[in-house]
Amino acid sequence: MRKSLDYIIEAVIFICGILSIVFVVLIFSFLLKEGLSFFKDFSFIKFITNQFWYPNSKIPSFGILSLISGSALVTLGACLIAVPIGVMTALFISEIAPKSIRDILKSLVELMAAIPSVVIGFVGMVTVVPLVKNVFNLPTGLTAFSGSIMLALMAIPTIVTISEDAIRSVPWQYKEGALALGATKWQTLRRVVLKAAMPGIIAAIMLGIGRVIGETMAVMMITGNAAHVPHSIFDPIRTMTSTIASEMGETVRGGMHYKSLFAIGLVLFLITFLVNFIADLFLGKNKNL
Amino acid sequence: MKKIIYCLIVSVLLFACTRNNSKNIESIQIKGSDTIVNLIQVWAENFVQSHPNSNISVTGGGSGTGFASLINKTCDIAMSSREIEKKESVLAKQNNVNPMGFKVGLDGLVVIVNKNNPVNKLTLAELKDIFMAKITNWKEVGGHDKKIVILSRESNSGTHMFFKERVIRNNDINSDDEFSIHSLMMSSSQAIYDEVLQNPNALGYVGMGFVNNKIKTLSISTNEKNKFIAPTIERVIDGSYPISRPLYLYTDGNPSGIVEVFIDYTLSDEGQKIVVDTDFVPIKK
């Protein structure tokens, strides 16, 4: 009796564990099926090098160069803001802050991760967008830069929590050794702790990028959605994710437009897969330390 | 603790039973154009008051979304700010859906700018050049030396389609002109309104329901020689305002039961009065 109960529970746990893998495989194969059938009628090279996205024209043009560059620009901007702030915060929390402040800071950062993206988008729309317009004297505040600021807010919690783990797992002997050799606290932090924790920090940054590039709602609300190749970070842009989200509702199942959105999804999936893969490589390195 | 959970379960079960027993509640699902969603909502609220056994849910998403869900049989009425497209009716036939349209009102598309913008009027040709980014500075049409920020709706919106056909393609079905790639595609008319409200360089188009005295509407003429017409209800009814369009409700086949009652209500005097109250234009005076 006890044995069979054991067996059943083991089986249930196995099924639950295997289910998530099954789901990923199913989602990926569905994406592949719908996305690849698009490339039968439209060349892949043209898809990613043409910059005109007019899926509903009489002679439709499916070029996602403008969307890819929009996504890339807003992600790059968000990284430039989020990485220094995130890594510094992680250093402060794990190495400098006294225990009482550390606990408050940590839970606040974790709380930040829980803010829904539509709320971040809404707050950005009424505060950051007019501010960016006035400060930089732009024709409109709906720009990649505004999007980057709000996306940075979403990436920071991811970067902070994972880099903090990495920094904390640096063996204390390293630090004591450095301090004993006469290094100052800053020298120890910079030359020893940061260096030893680097693989973990890079993994944190990669996961942060993964979060930013897949974000939809906030960028849709504040980046202006103009499907052109941007000339500067103060131009409006349109991302791959917001294109899928805003156009999926009108497409007819099985049509070219529908398939093209899946093809965008496929490109996006490949990018996030690559980013996560790199993160995993670095996380694995961290464990061998 | 156990008792509370027990009570909760019993009450949920009881609730479930009561819902099942009251079979006489009839519900209508309405989906489609964001332009008329406000109007339909007022209709629905008033209708439910006089027909307490009915239950109406109204969702926006764009005319295209409405037709798609009518074809997929996930709604009873599709509201639309354009006629059904050929593509869509072919698809409907394949799915054994027979869309029937009812004209329930008219809408004028209003071109709006910020209060601080000195421009008061544009011709259709100028409007077309602005939205195709051939005119990019306000000084070319009599304004300040500032870049024009073009605001458009997403391509799933009937407003977008109508504006494209009427202004950008000038009703020429062979034309293949499109909005400029520099135009900002906003996800709702409210978003266009909000941006125009705080941005003196912006130019956008919305339905008449959005007009109030915090923003400025432009008078439009078909060419320089003709009179510039301000977007008012009278000018839309008499057809002299150039950018106006009918609003439709579409059903699958001849409506019956509660859906028929609802459509009759929208066409009644009381229903048409609500059209006027929500700043749209009634089909007859």
Separation CA A286–CA A29 (nearest Å): 32
State pLDDT tens for residues B41-99: 889 999 999 888 888 988 888 888 889 889 888 889 999 988 888 888 888 898 888 99
**Which chain A residues are Cβ-neighbours of B187 within 8 angstroms?**
220-221, 225, 246
Instruction: Check whether B21 has a pLDDT greater than 50.
Output: no
State pLDDT tens for residues B222-262: 887 788 998 888 888 887 888 888 889 999 988 888 899 99
A202 Cβ contact partners less than 8 Å away, ≥ 6 residues apart:
A279, A282
Asked whether the beta carbons of B150 and B196 are under 8 A apart, the reply is no
Chain B contacts to A (CB-CB under 8 A): 61-62, 64-65, 68, 87-88, 91, 146-149, 154-156, 176, 178, 181-187, 191, 194-195, 198-199, 201-202
Closest residue in chain B to residue A52, using alpha carbons only: B181
State pLDDT tens for residues A126-149: 899 999 999 998 888 899 999 999
With pLDDT > 70 as the criterion, what percentage of chain B qualifies?
A: 91
Closest residue in chain B to residue A132, using alpha carbons only: B199
A220 part of contact set with chain B, CB < 8 Å: yes
Looking at every residue in chain A, the average pLDDT score rounds to 89
Query: What's the whole-number mean pLDDT along residues A208-215?
Result: 90
Helix or strand holding residue A82 (H, E): helix A65-91
**Which chain B residues are Cβ-neighbours of A58 within 8 angstroms?**
176
To the nearest 10°, report the CA torsion of B69, B70, B72, B76: 100
**Which chain A residues are Cβ-neighbours of B186 within 8 angstroms?**
225
Q: Which of B68, B146, B194 sits opposite A139 (nearest CB)?
A: B146
Tokens of B195: 């941006």
A116 part of contact set with chain B, CB < 8 Å: no
- What per-residue confidence (pLDDT) applies to B22? 47
3-state secondary structure A122-162: HHHHHHHHHHHHHHHCCCCCCCHHHHHHHHHHHHHHHHHHH
Determine whether the interchain pair A66/B154 forms a contact, defined as Cβ–Cβ distance below 8 Å.
Answer: no
Q: How far is A59 from chain B (nearest CA, A)?
A: 8
Q: Which of B87, B147, B198 sits opposite A130 (nearest CB)?
A: B198
Euclidean distance between the first and final Cα of chain A, in Å? Answer: 45
CB pairs under 8 A between A and B: 75
Determine whether the interchain pair A226/B156 forms a contact, defined as Cβ–Cβ distance below 8 Å.
Answer: no
Query: What's the whole-number mean pLDDT along residues A117-125?
Result: 91
Determine whether the interchain pair B149/A226 forms a contact, defined as Cβ–Cβ distance below 8 Å.
Answer: no
Q: Give the residue carrying structure tokens 């807003």.
A: A74
Q: How far is B195 from chain A (nearest CA, A)?
A: 9
**Which chain B residues are Cβ-neighbours of A251 within 8 angstroms?**
68
Nearest CA among B263, B279, B272 for reference residue B77: B263
Q: Which of A59, A142, A250 sits opposite B155 (nearest CB)?
A: A250
Separation CA A62–CA A71 (nearest Å): 16
Asked whether the beta carbons of A155 and A78 are under 8 A apart, the reply is yes
Topology of the domain covering A53-287: MetI-like fold (1.10.3720)
A-interface mutation test, from B70, B145, B154, most A Cβ less than 10 A away = B154
Number of residues that make up chain A? 289
Separation CA B257–CA A268 (nearest Å): 47
**Which chain B residues are Cβ-neighbours of A254 within 8 angstroms?**
none
DSSP string, B249-285: EEEESS--HHHHHHHHHHHSHHHHHHHHHTT-B-S--
This complex has an ipTM of 0.74
Determine whether the interchain pair B187/A246 forms a contact, defined as Cβ–Cβ distance below 8 Å.
Answer: yes
State pLDDT tens for residues B154-195: 877 778 888 888 899 887 777 888 898 889 988 888 889 988
Give the residue extent of every domain in chain A: 2-41, 53-287
Domains of chain B: 25-106+248-277 (3.40.190.10), 107-244 (3.40.190.10)
